[in-house]
Homo-oligomer: A and B are copies of this chain.
Amino acid sequence: MMAYMNDQSYAETLRTGCAVYFSRSRGKLWRKGEESGNVQEVDSIYLDCDRDTILLKVRQIGDAACHRGYRSCFYRRVTPKGLEVVGEQVFDPEEVYKK
């Protein structure tokens, strides 16, 4: 998955050992898994060459990082015939988020 971090979310990630992002649409910290329970326990953190991208290696609780219930947000492959779902759905979003 890909998400945004600001200084505070990075500091909270280091402090708690779990991934904390910053939701730009909601304008606040996003403690990944706060609603679904699918938190991400941080195993290791890497910085890229120009230090503007952070890579987290995590233990994904619940086996799904994506709010749509897939292990990865990148569960659709681009093909000449359009998008093909290649991921396996681990949970039903309607049950987990109870909208």
Given the complex, which residues of B lie within 8 Å of A53, measured CB to CB?
Answer: 2, 73-74
A83 touches B47 (CB 8 A): yes
Indicate how many identical chains form the complex.
2
A45-B84 Cα distance, complex, nearest whole Å? 11
Closest CB-CB distance, A66 to chain B, in whole Å?
Answer: 5
**Contact of A91 with B by CB under 8 A:** no
B1 touches A77 (CB 8 A): no
* Interface size in chain A (residues, C-beta < 8 A): 23
Chain A residues in the interface with B (C-beta under 8 A): 1-2, 44-50, 53, 55, 66-68, 70, 73-78, 83, 86
A55-B77 Cα distance, complex, nearest whole Å? 9
